[in-house]
Structure formats: structure tokens, C-alpha cells
Chains A and B, each alone.
Chain A
Amino acid sequence: MKRRAVIAGVGHTSFGKHPGRSAFELEAEAAALAARDAGLDPLEIDGLLTDPGFARGPMEGITPHFLRLGGLLGIDPLYTGTEILGGAGSAAIVGRAALAVEAGLCSTCLCVYGDSALSTPGAYAYGRGDDAAYGLFGAVGLHAMAAQRHMHLYGTRPEHLGEVAVAARACGARTPHAQKRRPISLQEYLESDPVVDPLRKLDCCLVSDGAAAVLVTTEERAAALRRPFARILSQAQAHRLRTFTSPEHFETLPAARCGPEALARAGVTADDVDVALLYDCFTIVVLLQLEDYGFCKKGEAGPFVEGGRIAPGGKLAVNPSGGLLAEGYGGGMLHVIEAVRQLRGEAGERQVPGAEIALVSGHGLGMNTHATLVLGR
């Protein structure tokens, strides 16, 4: 019988400032919480995949992240590795864990993201290679250029970006563990400080210390545990290594290639998605993904989000836990975890009634990487 991969356990630290705690300590806490949530003995874990965030870099000298973390956790796995895909890393390692489990390379794989970016000043404000000579710093400039082009081509307005920010913070207000729980108004968004025009402070995601982990195992093993699980129905990735030399760059994300493909592999369409966990490092990325995944037509994401359509109680549930803009910067792993909680029906006040299909996206390295998961009950 074919082995099918499921997510059997989830866990995360609080997100915010953890002064004096190393990212490894946060990762260990998240791993232990995920094991306890699944009801799995840590000795059963025979796979380890990691997404090391940014502040540490992927290597300490010659020691890659998985080697150090696996040693600290006391794991001698059958399968391991670290993915360096920026914000696409977490969705990618969960997808890779599913492939490894289904191929029989391991049976129960721990997938961990962690970082201490908030306690590491300037973690994201790095110059981008030789282009730093022109002042290209951080990820915000590239995303501002995408927003500028969307506004130019389609008449997208600041208020449209603001709808995304306001919706995220309204979701955060319903999420007990969110880093930002105070809702904001559209007026507050419009008055927030400019960072890189056309993006304002409230277009930008939070910076956090924190870690998040999930356990991927076989459906057979999960069925014997006491907790409901989420199925990994399909996955796809697409990357744009040519960056801005690619003709479609700043108009679509690589999601335009892998998003519809992932949905088709799961046998569903955008209309079937009950809850969309869209990577949201900047508000513009949510608008681009609504188009690229087929929730609306190209260029129409601005009007699509008007009137609170993606806010709590709106027609499309997007990032009910607040995402990177309100819940905390969880590298994309918090998006996976919220999808699992929604499918289990344990999201409390923010539960999407009867959620059966969840879409999870990850996006990274200056709009050049993308990973998609479709999860189901």
C-alpha cells in the first residue's frame, strides 16, 4: 500500500523578543511542543529538515544548521538537510519531508524553522551584493518596485495595499499568540511612515525571535496517535533565478507557475480553497498571489480585496492567524501550522467553519523562490 504523508503534530514558541535565548533553544522548544502535540516519542523521529532563517546564516563555520541542531536534539536520522530558499524554505522542507516519508527514506520527519532576527540588529537590512552600491538594501526595495509596477499597470492604489494590512491586523486581534494584537484602521495605515515608496511601515512584516516545527509522518502511524492530522495533498515549487532579467519579473511571482499546478495536482481549484495561508512579507505579495493562484484575474487583486473581502468574516479566508504582518515572522512555518489548526477545527475564535482544503505558500529571496502546499483533512 502506498505510504501517504500527513502532518501529525505542530508546535511553536511565542513570537516577539526573546532576549538572551539562542535560536537553537527556541527550535528545541518548538520541536518538543510538536512532539507532545502529536503524542510521538522523540526517539521515533528519524528525519530532520531545517530552515535556519537569516540572522545566523545557514552555516556556522563548516557546520550546517541541520548538523548542529540534530546534535543538540540528539537525533541520528535516516534523512536530513537544510533548505536555503528564504521564505519559501519552510513550505519546501515540509514538502520534502512528505516526499521522503512517502518514498520510505524515513518515517517521521521533524521540520523546524527558527531565528532570532529581532535580537540581531539589522538582520534583514543587508545590502544586495554589488547593487548595494546603488542603495539596494533589504527585501523591501524589490517589493516596492513590484508594488510600483502593479500600480502603474493596473491602477492599484495605496488603499488596496492598506486593505491587506488592516485585514492582517484584524486577524491578529483574534489570535491569542499573535505578536501584534491591536487592530489598525485604513487611516492609520495611510498615515504610517514611508519606508521605501510606495511601501509604508505597515506594509512590512514583523521581525521576530521564535521557532516553529511540524512533524510529518505516515497516515498509518498518525492514525494510531490520539490527535487529528492534516493530509499533504500536493506540492509544487517554481523559482526565478534570472531575477529581474526574467521578462515577467515585477509583474508575477514564480507562484504563477507552481500555484495553479499545485492546485491541479490536488484535484482542486482556487474556488475549493477554504483557507489560504499566503506568505505575506509585504502586502503587495498577497495581492500578487491572489492573482497568481487564480483567486482573481491578473491586475484585479486591488479591487478584489476592497470592502474587507480577505478580512475576518470576508468571502475569502486569508491568513486567519494574522500571518507575518501580525502573528509574527515565522519564516512560513506558522502558515503551515495555522493550516493544520484550521483543518483540525481547533482555531478557536478565528476558525473557518468546516475548513477542508488549505493552501500554504512560501516566497523568498527577493521574489525569486516559491513553494506551494495543498493540505486537506
Chain B
Amino acid sequence: MDPDATTPPLPEPDALTRRFWEACRQGRLDLCACESCGHLFLPPGPCCPRCWAMRITTRTASGEGAVRTFAVYRRTYHPGLPQPYVVAVIELREGPRLVSNVVGCAPERVRIDMPVRARFENVGEFTLPRFEPAGPEKEPS
């Protein structure tokens, strides 16, 4: 087996996403903000997906959000990501959605609309924004 096989797959930053991942490394979840209409969005893009203005700045999100939906993987697709794990679409308080994991509680306790907050975790040379329950579902660590 490849000696790196137990390293999970990592993002491949490009010109559009590099700033997002750099902010994560510094413990910030940065949203794209349209200077023209104020729309906040993810994933990062070359223009505002609402008004097509090209002047885009960033705004740091609160890291608070809720689970819009989720799935519990019961099969291991990658040796670096053993099952079970929870993949979720998180809706941030500011509006944008992103795919992430819900961590810090048993998969059986995850619920749609459950409040969560960002928790930055280092994986290889990356820092991934994952989410843990903001309410009573959180397990003591």
C-alpha cells in the first residue's frame, strides 16, 4: 500500500480557492462578499453569482450555523477516512452553505436543524473547518 494511503484526500487550492484555505489555516472561515450588492457567498468564485460584479472582498463568518442535511457513511471509501463519519451541508448564520463534517458527537445524535459551530482541524498541511454541536448534543472531550 502507498505509504501515504492513510492521509485523507486533501483540497487542491487553485486561484479561486487559495485565499479561503489560507484563512482556514489562520482559524477563520472567510466568506466572499460582493462589494456591489453585498451578497455573501461560498464557494469562492470570480464574480458575484447574484449580480456578476467582479469586485469581491472577504468577510469572516461567525462560524455559527445549522445542519441543513447530512449523511452517515457506513462504508470506508478511503483508508484515510474510516467509517463511520458524518458528511453534512451546513447553512451558516450569514447564509452561505458548505459541505463539511459534523464532529464531536455520535453520528446517531446528529439532527437536521441542529445548531453547530466551526472547529478548525489540521489535516496534513491543511486546516479544515469542521462543525461540532453548539447545543447539548456535544459530548465532553
Residues of A within 8 A of B (CB): 125, 127, 130-138, 141-142, 144-146, 148-149, 152, 193-199, 242, 244-245, 250
Contact = CB atoms under 8 A, between A and B. Distances in A.
Contact of B99 (A136, A138, A197, A198): A136
B42 A145 contact: no
Contacts of A132: 9, 78
B134 interface: no
A137 B81 CA distance: 11
A198 B88 CA distance: 13
Nearest to A137: B77
A250 B69 contact: yes
Nearest to A136: B87
Given A135-B78, A137-B78, A138-B77, A144 B71 contact: yes
B99 A131 contact: yes
A194 B74 contact: yes
Contacts of A146: 69
Nearest to B71: A144
Interface of B: 8-12, 17, 41-43, 49, 68-75, 77-78, 81, 85, 87-89, 96-97, 99-101, 107, 111-113, 123, 126, 128, 130
Contacts of B42: 245
A250 B69 CA distance: 8
Interface residue SS majority, chain B: strand
Nearest to B84: A197
Contact of B74 (A149, A195, A244): A195
The 6 A-B pairs with the shortest beta carbon distances in the complex, nearest first, are A144-B71, A137-B77, A197-B72, A194-B74, A130-B11, A132-B9
A146 B112 CA distance: 12
12 contacts: A134-B128, A135-B101, A137-B78, A142-B71, A145-B70, A148-B70, A149-B112, A195-B74, A196-B73, A198-B71, A244-B97, A245-B42
A211 B13 CA distance: 37
B68 A250 contact: yes
Nearest to B77: A137
A115 to B, nearest CB: 20
A135 B97 CA distance: 17
Contacts of B99: 131, 134, 136, 244
A245 B11 contact: no
Contacts of B81: 135
Contacts of B101: 134-135
A239 B37 CA distance: 25
Nearest to A153: B112
Contacts of A199: 71
Nearest to B95: A245
A127 B9 contact: yes
A201 to B, nearest CB: 9
A138 B75 CA distance: 11
Contacts of A148: 69-71, 112
B69 A145 contact: yes
B71 A196 contact: yes
Contacts of B70: 145, 148
B11 A133 contact: yes
A153 to B, nearest CB: 8
A135 B73 contact: yes
Nearest to A135: B81
Contacts of A152: 69, 111-113
Contacts of A127: 9, 77-78
A214 to B, nearest CB: 35
Contacts of A197: 71-72, 74, 107
A250 B71 contact: no
Nearest to B9: A132
